[in-house]
A = this chain, B = another copy of it.
Amino acid sequence: MDQLVKELLQGNRRAAARLISNIENDVPEKRALLQEVFPHTGNAYVIGITGAPGSGKSSLVDCLLKKIRRDGLTVGIIAVDPTSPFSGGAILGDRIRMQDHALDEGIFIRSMGTRGSLGGLSRSTREAIQVLDAFGKDIILVETVGVGQSEVDIVKTADTTVVVLTPAGGDSVQTLKAGIMEIADIFVVNKADLSGAERTITEINIMLDMKNETQWRPPVVRTISVQNEGMDELWQELRNHKHFMKESEKLLEVRKERVRRELTEQVEYLVKNKIWEQVREGIEIETLVDRIVHRRLDPYSAAAELLEEIDFL
């Protein structure tokens, strides 16, 4: 087994950090590493936390973190910022937050930015979750800035999804209408001391009434994260939802669905690689490219032609 994976399983923090970096940098041995990590996963519970910039997610996560630690559970945090291709800011934030918790071995914090595509980011995030899971963290918090697709991607990796809103955001309700509603297992109205909090809560509840979900109605928790208020209730609701997911076998269901997606993605990945390999090794594509560029052939028909020439096994 790879030395790094061995050290990860022994609880070595630097090994965990190095493994995640290797994954982010897409090193050639990445798949082999993930393959070794995989059998040691499946024990962590993954909580996704999403919300608009300025909704106070980071401080909320920090408070929640302390609460979970007091219950004796270990926590991994993955802070995802899909709006920036530059990891500079993310890493800085990382360092600052890390200092707060530097002496606590039960906490591991990692920021991730978009190095490649957004698709690449959601993949790296999933892979980093695997590493922290194998690392032995009980709870993994995935925190993301809400920019549309990223919230949806979070749901695909999290067992429980928390949507953070603020009374200040005039957009909040509009946002809810347009799809966020579907992904929340728990709503948090943060900065609940601001005026408008009651209205926001009422609006969420009206929408929940319309949805009329019978199995799990998302609770609405009010918090003031800068004053560390509402954390007991939030943590209680998180445990309730976890319990519901396990008892109703929904957890197995969503995890199976995740595996299905992962599996077909891996097949697609292998296939893509085979295509590119054979293109590099000289399958004739330049003639096709030439004909397309001069509009004598369309790319759709050309693709069908090319497909016949590729050996997939």
Binding site for B on A (CB under 8 A): 31, 34-35, 38-39, 41-42, 82-86, 88, 114, 116-119, 147-149, 152, 174-175, 178-179, 252, 255-256, 259-260, 262-264, 266-272, 275-276, 279, 285, 288-290, 292-293, 295, 298-304, 306-308, 310, 312-313
A268 to B119, CA, bound (A): 15
A84 to B147, CA, bound (A): 7
A218 to B42, CA, bound (A): 52
Q: With A35-B298, A295-B41 known to touch, is A259 a contact of B147 (CB < 8 Å)?
A: no
Contact B259 A295 (CB under 8 A): no
Q: CB-CB < 8 A to A275: which residues of B? A: 264, 267-268, 271
Task: Please name the residue on chain B nearest to A40 by beta carbon.
Answer: B295
Q: CB-CB < 8 A to A117: which residues of B? A: 118-119, 149
Q: For the complex, would chain A's binding face be called helix, strand, loop or mixed by DSSP majority?
A: helix
In the assembled complex, the CB of A51 is this many whole angstroms from the nearest CB of chain B, namely: 15
Per a CB cutoff under 8 Å, which of B82, B114, B298, B308 touches A39? B298
A255 to B88, CA, bound (A): 33
Per a CB cutoff under 8 Å, which of B147, B263, B276 touches A303? B263
Q: CB-CB < 8 A to A263: which residues of B? A: 285, 288-289, 292, 299, 302-303, 306
Contact B88 A178 (CB under 8 A): yes
Contact A85 B289 (CB under 8 A): no
Q: CB-CB < 8 A to A149: which residues of B? A: 85, 114, 116-118
Per a CB cutoff under 8 Å, which of B85, B175, B259, B310 touches A267? B310
